[in-house]
Each structure stands twice: as structure tokens, then as C-alpha cells.
Structure 1
Amino acid sequence: MEDNRTPIIMGSDHAAYGLKEYIKEFIKQKGIQIQDVGAHSTEAVDYPELGFQVAGAVSAGKYSRGILLCGTGLGMSIVANKFPHVRAALCNDLFSAIMSRRHNNANILVMGGRVIGDVLAGEIVTAWLETPFEGGRHQRRLDIFENMGCLVHKDTTTVANNP
């Protein structure tokens, strides 16, 4: 079982800066270390660059979990899920957060700073950190997914020509 107190890498765009700061302090109070890659203010930034840093670190195994935030969470989800071994889940409600861990073993939590408030975000983070992966039939499905990802990243031409 994964230790839910392992360090987390986190990033946001300017639209979710305030929520990122709240979540960062919320997680620190749980005794969990945070690596914050930005944004560091409400000045406009390009979210793909920050999503790239977080998802890249999780993909490479430098961090086992990450958190990404942008205005809606959609853009960061798209960026993060381009990386091998990343299972980023957009969770703006508790049920999605729990199920993203229980059935999908999500390793990046994504939320929308313009969609949810601080209190709900804290509840989502807590649920996401504390919910274990069930394994079993869900592991079999993740293995299938992981193999698909390896094929796609290896040879996108073959996959594109054989729908």
C-alpha cells in the first residue's frame, strides 16, 4: 500500500493560483512535503508548461503523486494525460476523487480553480490522498491501459492507421 504522506509535486496556472496556495498550506498541515512549480502569482502564465513539469516528474517516477490546477481543470488534464504512466483525473467532486483512486489508481489529481471552492477542494484532496487503490480486476484493467499507452507512444503511425 502506498504511503499517503509521500511528497507531492504541484502546479497551477494563474487562474487557480489562490486555490493552489490554499491547498499547499492544507497539505503541509497534514505533514506532507510539497514541491510547488508555480504559478507564483496571478500574473498570466501558460498552463501547459506547468502541467508538463508536474506530469513529467510523475511520469519519470520522481514523484508518485501530483496535483494540477487551472481555471477548469480541463487543460491540465489534457496535458498531463499525454505522459506515459500518468493517470490524471479531473475531480471537482468527492465521488470522482474517491473512485479515481479506488478504481483507476490516479496519480495526478486535477481540479478547477474557477469551479470549486477552498473547503470542497480540501475535502477532495483528503479523500484522494486517503483512498487506497483496490487492485484486483482494476489492476488488470490498468495493465491493459498501460500496455495501450506504451504502444501508442512507441508507434503512433501504426495506431493511427489501424483504428
Structure 2
Amino acid sequence: MRTARDKQVVIGADFAGFPLKEYVRLHLIGKGWEVTDLTPIKEEAPMYQRVGFALGSRIAEGEFEKALAFCGTGMGIHVAASKCPHVHAAVAESVRAARRSATANSCNLLAMGGFWIAPRLGMAMADAFLEGSLGDGYEGWEGFEEYHEIGYRECEDFDYEAYRANGFSVVNPREAVLGPEPEGLAF
């Protein structure tokens, strides 16, 4: 698997997200990343959902650990990528949200909207997402990692039919207790 730790990422965009993708791609290459671009030519970029499927499949097949997706709002490409197994996609419009998607929710695909995100913000968001892993930065919050690991596992292993058969409740839920929120914790 090509991992973020090894500075490898897959990216893609539709026509609306293409300009932002290019800024972020060049930024990452300049920082030593190996960037696999599924949409190198704007005029040949597929519709947003097809780019989302293509990116999601690279995660589902275990080829890449993380992906960056770009469309007009980030919403459509995120929905499409989420249709692929093992994809935990996030849409973010801030550096804090991009980082938290990786550190608290263990997301493996970040979608950004080219209509809303300026180039420098997109670069900073990509850095925050790619450099963050589950639990990073929350070492002082007792129970934080376990709480979010349970959330990740329940999403990863979710079986709708079993959920439905169990009266729309999670089957065999686990619980974690969060300790008091650390003083001065800023998200």
C-alpha cells in the first residue's frame, strides 16, 4: 500500500475542482510527495462522481492509504467516493476540519471545493490532512482515541441489514468513556 508516511497520495478532480487540484498537486510535489494524479488533463476530467469512484476504488483495493478529491463544492465527489468500501471521506473548508477528519475520524479521503477554497488554504488543508493520523494531538484527553476508534470500527463494519434487524440499533455496541476535556484544548 502507498502510504502517507511514505509521502504517497492519489488525487483527482472534475473540471470545477481542477484548478485547486493543480495548486495542491504542485505544492505537494514541491514538498517531496509522490502524487498519482488520476485527472491530469482538465478537458478530459470525468464527471465528479466518476472521479470519486476512481479515487475511492484506489483506497478500497488497498493501493493507497489516503486520497485528495476536488470538485466544485467537495460534496458530490465525497458522496461518490463514499460508495466504495473502506472509504471514510470528509469534506472540509478549514485547516482545523481537514486535520480533525484525519486525527479524530480516521478519514482516508479529503474532498475540497474549488468554488470555496483558495489555493493557499487548499495547500494547508492538504498538509493537515495528510500529516495527521488517528489520535494525533489528543494524547492528553483520556479515552479520546478509544472513543474515535469505536466510531471508526462501527462505520467500517456497518451492516445495514443487521442494524435494521436489530431495531435500528448497533449490534453489540462498544462504549468508551471520555475523560474531562483538557484545559485550553483548541480544535
TM-score of the aligned structures, taking structure 2 as reference length: 0.76
In structure 2, what is the equivalent of residue 60 of structure 1? 61
* Equivalent residue number for residue 93 of structure 2: 92
Partner of 2:138: none
Alpha-carbon distance in 1 for matches of 2:33, 2:114: 21
Alignment CA distance shift 1:65-1:3 (3 Å): closer
Show the counterpart of 1:80. 81
Give the deviation of 1:22 after TM superposition. 0.8
**Cα distance, 1:132 vs. partner?**
2.3
Say whether the 8 Å CA contact 1:14–1:39 is kept in structure 2.
Answer: no
What CA RMSD, in Å, does the superposition of the two structures yield over aligned residues? 2.2
Superposed, which structure 2 residues align to 1:7-156 within 5 Å?
Answer: 7-38=8-39, 40-42=41-43, 45-134=46-135, 135-148=145-158, 151-152=159-160
Asked whether the 8 Å contact 1:17–1:41 carries over to 2, the reply is yes
Give yes or no for contact 2:4–2:131 (8 Å, CA) kept in 1. Answer: no
Consecutive aligned runs of 4 or more in structure 1 exceeding 2 Å deviation: 2-6, 42-45
Instruction: Measure the CA separation in 2 of the matches of 1:44 and 1:145.
Output: 30
Could you tell me which runs of 5 or more consecutive residues in structure 2 were left unpaired when the two chains were aligned.
136-144, 169-187
Cα offset for 1:28? 0.7
Q: Distance in 1 between matches of 2:121 and 2:30?
A: 16
Count of paired positions: 157
Higher relative contact order (CA 8 A, sep 6+): 1
What TM-score results when the alignment is normalised by the length of structure 1?
0.87
User: Which whole-Å CA distance do the structure 1 matches of 2:133 and 2:56 have between them?
Assistant: 21
- Structure 1 spans left out of the alignment, 5+ residues: none
Identity level (%): 28
Shift of 1:136: 2.3
